[in-house]
Structure 1
Amino acid sequence: MGSFFKHTAREKRYEPITPTAVKYILHVGLSKGSAYSLENDIYDYYNVTIVAKSFVREQIRRMMSCLVNYSYDRISLTTIKWLLENPISSNLYDMGIPIAPPQGLFLTDVVYDPRMFSNPVPYYLHSWDYE
Structure 2
Amino acid sequence: MLKAEPRMSPVAISTASRSRLEQWRDIGLIAGLAVCSGFLALANLPGPVAGPPVPLAAIFPPWISGEEAMARSLASGARILRQGVAPFVVVLAPETAARPSGALLMLRLDGLAGCIISPEAEASRS
TM-score (norm 1): 0.23
Higher Rg of the two aligned structures: 2
Q: Which has the higher helix share?
A: 2
